[in-house]
Chains A and B, each alone.
Chain A
């Protein structure tokens, strides 16, 4: 119902009267008054659960306390957020959660950033009131990306809701009941053996240390300390606008140059940029798209359209499980991380005179799925494992803190060359719509010889956090080679979050997809909301990080991938041409059919 006039409801909260729109929850109403009610199972990304019972409030006339997150306001409601009954109940609930939680905070990676710990601190639960009943299960370490420790689980189900609602993956579920109720997978299998995409949204929504990324910090330190190794680091687009949150700066800060200095200070031998291979991806993928369009529209050949981006490894594994009949729609381009690895261990190694067997490639990613991607058996085009270690933004934050670096005071630094220079197009890869925007900037120019007609190159229809975005681009004034495209309307779509990917793919599978080119990123918001990003991640933070990337784009000398001088150089010097022989060997890949269930 689209009733413009929203009905207002009057309630009193702790004796203060407030008027809020109908259907507001008590929790929202209290926050609008500046009253803070703690929550655990509540997360703005997810549907309301009302199961942790931390946010209970007293409502006059009600026999029981009400979960403020799950109870809508009603006219005349008198709400008490801090009565004796509420405080006692809340403390009991926290005590109960602590009794089933293995509270080894000192040994936990979420120490200092744990919602349960914060509540325990707030309520001063110094002595365990109840009997310790936490389960003694060993953590599940089967996955190269995600670690699951049930002994720290408080069963808030945020992970399950993230996995199901945001991602429609449903690798995680709630199973059994009563005292045996737990968060698990199909048939209690280890994470490595189920349909998990390694996207890490469960990790980023977990309030405690029950779900964490697999940590490779010590391995990276070992490599750095090893004098026989040349350690190369690459930095993903999205981390330059989020690492600040890990090192005490506010959200949405662009810190690219300080990041470079920090990495050098940590001891990396070459500090290079995934943004460079993002630009390279655009060249390869853009040409692949034009090749497919040529075959389809000019030569009437049978070719899979729409073509879909392949930068997001969570999305790739999802497609391999769920849509394994449509894998031919995926671009064969490797992700920027995996284009970087083999180039580092071939071209770059030769350039700097390092034996590739002595080179260690580390990537800093906003992503947990990248850990899995790097470990895929086919990712050995250099003759070695192309990318040796993948650290999340959070793990890099840890290393910087361990090294005692005062990030804010760092001087600016510049990336090494070659594989260090990038464009604004590469930078915006880190947000939903960014790959599409970068690709259109280049493809349009290849086809027409002119810059894409958007003010300041800002292709606004593909920006923003809408789950599925669409745009149509009329192609006019084509160059001779592409005159078959004259007057054509290029239809594109962008989806982020795998639940949206599923919707898009259902259309593709049924043959009803109206698009030519689709960008899909596994995580809500794209990489700026990735499973390896600072916790918490909310829509407000996603927007701040995305805006910082767009700012970065605008400040760059070059804003179109094909204008990147190092890209031009690497084709002249090594790759020869897009989709050429070397490209196929190093930069393209194929996909694996996996079981749906």
Chain B
């Protein structure tokens, strides 16, 4: 290996304090190598910083949203013509029936503030989100006794106005745009000056449901977050016991013969199988054969369980192997049975490693989209919040990475901003999970 051993140590001449040419060369080689190492880390860090900078700078916009505060008169002759407050009859008025109320409300506001504008009423109302009518209708159905009153509402503006407030949209960029005109932006400026339009933190982005292509301003990641949560629950409840039981048996009890060798090779192989394959399997087995519902977090969780199992088994076996045989021998020596030695001594000592492996496996499953494509969890899935929680594992739901993918595909640039915002939330989850894994390992790991 070293140069010295080749043909005996070269004769050293001169003082030990002055370096000869060979030593200087070796020292130079070492410092060069150190430099390469530092450069490699620097490149890695630079990429990380660029990535984080890009994500944060593009995504933070999704956390604020532009709102308009208006007083809406819930007039009886539009919402409840018979005046008997019969909920079934009130429900017959569709969201389209609520649009005139909003138009009147904005007209009144303009009159009250004395804003001079030539904009026709329909165009004035067009700066509001299309979700406004649905928001009104939900309120009226929840509070039918308020019909006839004037109630203050906080509506979203549409995505173009929101983009204008966030400097994404300018008068130049809308030159060919049919959905907004410069006159409408002037009107927005007037309302901003009066404090009717304000930009503030948008909790609905974190807790809300997805919205259709026409109202990106109303879309939120909350429901898909619940979907991801349900799936992780299924993965944890299934993959952890199955994985740990399998590894304990393979590691501690199974005889070493060709069958266990084949199983071992196959487990390693499964860990490397592309995740989309598990999606195809899930579609064939869970949906077509077992008739579980499509788009359900239960099926997603089962598919991800299959995907996570090899990871958990491999890391569990590694941490079981790391427990020194002397512990087992000591337990057996004082009269414990094989099972007692495993459950009372080996398993507790291996637990930190198992937990770390499980958390990393879960984090991997959390960021997975491909297998979900085939079982119907990628698409427009907007169950409203209470339904999606109450429906639990069987009601249709999306997952965070699937939701991000879906947003990135849509036409309106406002969805693009939300996709980046979604990435921030997903990253926060992943970083938290991985940090917990590191902390657990640091605190409980024992070395022999």
* B is a partner of A: no
A-contacting residues of B (Cβ < 8 Å)? none
B-contacting residues of A (Cβ < 8 Å)? none
